[in-house]
């Protein structure tokens, strides 16, 4: 799905989720934001969303709940020889 105003503070996705009944919110496990995936300046890496390699501290943001699990899923998927 597409949301507007994401660069201004996740306004579109926040409004979408706020408008859902709780029964629908409970079905959402994660939201992945791939807005940077089409860059000609790409890198092949998995973001450290769970802060496993670089613990949060001054200048390092902590990923939201579930980030570590998503990081693990991507690492498993892109594992060489898979």
Instruction: Decide if 27 contacts 51 (C-beta within 8 A).
Output: no
Instruction: Decide if 5 contacts 12 (C-beta within 8 A).
Output: yes
Active-site hit among 6, 29, 69, 71: 6
| 6 catalytic residue (yes or no) | yes
Buried residues in 42-52 as b, exposed as e (16+ CB within 10 A)? eeeeeeebbbe
The residues carrying an active-site annotation are: 6
């Amino acid at each position: 799905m597409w949301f507007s105003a994401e660069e201004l503070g996740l306004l579109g996705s926040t409004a979408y989720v706020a408008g859902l009944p709780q029964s629908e919110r409970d079905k959402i496990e994660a939201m992945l934001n791939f807005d940077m995936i089409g860059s000609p300046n790409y890198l092949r890496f998995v973001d450290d969303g769970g802060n496993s390699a670089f613990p949060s501290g001054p200048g390092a943001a902590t990923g939201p709940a579930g980030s570590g699990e998503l990081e693990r899923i991507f690492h498993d998927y892109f594992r060489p020889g898979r």
